[in-house]
């Protein structure tokens, strides 16, 4: 299949958005997998914001030059916008700069998502009680108050006390890695042994995780 010059240009221009979306997708937690359509939509949005920020920087530089110099510099639209329909012209320098901006944008939006600032403000202003897009398992273990936990596997009569190092979730199971682990019997809490690190995997409804207060 032959790709036209305009199609090739659009693919190259979308690179910053794809880069930012990939970073965002890797660094954020979502209970439901995003569809390919949503990936494309988010990529376009990230790309547009990257080029818009580049355009703002261009205006700022021109304004500073006009302020510091006697000769006036004409405000120009970046070639990405002005020559969008021209398939023969690909502004590679602007694409590279937009890619740099998109990397920063991807990390920044991921940080904003992780901090739950929007949801916190919404709850504070009584707009919404939604805590975020991830499920309660991820939300609970992501809480800054959660460090040490008890993992109780009741059907095996075992309790694990340890520091949360990492965790993840699949459609069928929950996974967690604990450090500085002490293993007890359940429910009488008799100490069995200690271990530096342990990886646990269990069905979603077969475990209880409690915050441990070691003070």
CATH architecture of 136-211: Roll (2.30)
Long-range pairs for 29-36: beta carbons < 8 A, 24 or more residues apart: 29/133, 29/134, 29/138, 29/142, 30/133, 30/134, 31/133, 31/134, 31/135, 31/138
Alpha carbon of residue 142 to chain centroid: 13
Average pLDDT value for the chain: 84
pLDDT, residue 215, reads 67
Q: How does pLDDT run across 73-104, given as a tens digit for each residue? A: 677 788 887 776 665 677 889 999 999 999 99
Is 146 within 8 Å of 197 (Cβ atoms)?
Answer: no
**214: three-class secondary structure by DSSP:** coil
The better pLDDT of the pair 108, 33 is held by 108
The better pLDDT of the pair 76, 178 is held by 178
- Side by side, the strands of the sheet bearing 208-211 are 191-203, 173-185, 158-169, 148-153, 208-211
CA distance 215 to 213: 6
- State mean pLDDT over 171-185: 91
Q: How does pLDDT run across 127-138, given as a tens digit for each residue? A: 766 666 567 787
Tokens of 164: 């949360």
pLDDT, residue 11, reads 84
Q: What are the start and end residues of each CATH 2.30.30.100 domain in the chain?
A: 136-211
The better pLDDT of the pair 89, 56 is held by 56
Is the pLDDT reported for residue 149 higher than 70? yes
Is 39 within 8 Å of 30 (Cβ atoms)?
Answer: no
pLDDT, residue 130, reads 63
pLDDT, residue 1, reads 46
């Amino acid at each position: 299949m032959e790709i036209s010059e305009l199609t090739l240009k659009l693919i190259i221009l979308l690179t910053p958005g794809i880069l930012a979306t990939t970073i965002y997708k890797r660094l954020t937690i979502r209970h439901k997998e995003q569809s390919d359509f949503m990936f494309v939509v988010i990529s376009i949005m990230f790309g547009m914001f990257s080029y818009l920020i580049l355009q703002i920087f261009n205006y700022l530089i021109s304004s500073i030059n006009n302020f510091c110099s006697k000769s006036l510099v004409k405000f120009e639209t970046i070639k990405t916008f002005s020559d969008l329909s021209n398939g023969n012209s690909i502004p590679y320098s602007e694409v590279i700069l937009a890619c740099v901006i998109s990397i920063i944008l991807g990390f920044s939006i991921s940080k904003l998502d992780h901090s739950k600032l929007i949801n916190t403000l919404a709850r504070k202003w009584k707009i919404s009680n939604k805590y975020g897009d991830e499920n309660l398992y991820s939300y609970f273990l992501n809480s800054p108050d959660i460090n040490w936990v008890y993992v109780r596997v009741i059907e095996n009569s075992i309790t694990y006390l340890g520091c949360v190092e990492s965790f993840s979730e699949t459609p069928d199971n929950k996974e967690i890695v604990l450090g500085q682990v002490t293993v007890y019997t359940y429910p009488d809490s008799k100490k069995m042994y200690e271990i530096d690190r342990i990886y646990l995997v269990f069905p979603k409804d077969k475990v209880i995780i409690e915050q441990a207060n070691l003070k």
